[in-house]
Structure 1
């Protein structure tokens, strides 16, 4: 306790007062520096402002850029128009091709029908002629077959029943009979066995 009494004068401690005064003075200095230095630090000088300011494009540069953009837009529009025209042309060509394909399919069906009629008629004619040769006397038929080309004669003889064909071949000259027989034998020689 003696120490406490020695440090007090007028009943107050000395160290506490000095500390408070020092803190108040320090606060005052900080406030002054903040008030005076804040605007000075925040406000740039004119030279700093001029250096930090971005260079503004000149009106001539802007006009040139705008002109180039307009030219490019015009080229894009022309390209779009050209592509639309090509698309229309392709669509028209596609329709024309579709129409022609339908016409070709119809023509093919018609041709098949015509060929079927012609094949049927030709088959009837061959059957009728084969029947005629078959009913003829072998000697008379042999005289006709002697004048025919061997492949043609072989075609008819292959349609005639074997007993009639044998009678016709017997009436032919040996050379004609041999040639027609070779043609008949070789007709299916190139056909696959299975």
Structure 2
């Protein structure tokens, strides 16, 4: 019976202590109560061990209180840093959207320019187009030939010198292979 009595007594004392700890939201007040242990030394002021223990408890309580204050300061700093990061993230997302819009506009402008250039070559006589294309870089000329109408491209390649036509055809084939 004696063995079951001690755990029950400990549980009986621990439940109100735990409830009081959970009830108090500010733990620094709980530790502050121990910072001034005036009631602890009543009648024990002449016992040096009791005085030393009371001072040690007071010092620990003060350290814990300072530590709890530093935790609160850190929480505030973290909240501020998080808010700053959220604002910066919103700015970056906004800038990303603007960059994407400008890039899409630029890409669309390049496509329009290429379409106009292709239409121009479609309207040229094959011999004239061949003369111009042979003076362009091979990859650029191949790109134009890939985009003009097939019958126009065939006439232009036929008007190009055979060696240059072979080079342009190889560039066109290489372009097709890179796309896949």
- TM (norm. structure 2) is 0.71
> 1:30: which partner in 2?
none
- Alignment root-mean-square deviation, CA: 1.7
- Tell which deviates more after alignment, 183-192 or 159-168: 183-192
Unaligned runs of at least 5 residues, structure 1: 1-55
> 2:103: which partner in 1?
115
Q: Deviations over 1:40-96 (max 9, x none)?
A: xxxxxxxxxxxxxxxx89521111111111111111112112111111111111111
Name which one, 1 or 2, has greater alpha-carbon Rg. 1
In the TM superposition, residue 163 of structure 1 has moved relative to its aligned partner by 0.9
Q: Is the 8 A contact 2:45 2:51 kept in 1?
A: no
In the TM superposition, residue 189 of structure 1 has moved relative to its aligned partner by 2.1
Q: Deviations over 1:131-190 (max 9, x none)?
A: 111111111111111011111111111110011111111121212111110111122325
> 1:73: which partner in 2?
61
Which of 92, 102, 111 is 2:90 aligned to?
102
Separation (CA, whole Å) in 1 of partners of 2:46 and 2:103: 84
Instruction: Tell me, yes or no, if structure 1 residue 178 matches structure 2 residue 158.
Output: no
Separation (CA, whole Å) in 1 of partners of 2:125 and 2:91: 52
Separation (CA, whole Å) in 2 of partners of 1:188 and 1:145: 19
SS state at 1:187 partner: helix
Instruction: Tell me, yes or no, if structure 1 residue 125 matches structure 2 residue 125.
Output: no
- TM (norm. structure 1) is 0.66
> 2:70: which partner in 1?
82
Unaligned runs of at least 5 residues, structure 2: 1-43
Separation (CA, whole Å) in 2 of partners of 1:123 and 1:101: 32
Q: Deviations over 1:108-142 (max 9, x none)?
A: 11111111111111111100011111111111111
Separation (CA, whole Å) in 1 of partners of 2:140 and 2:178: 19
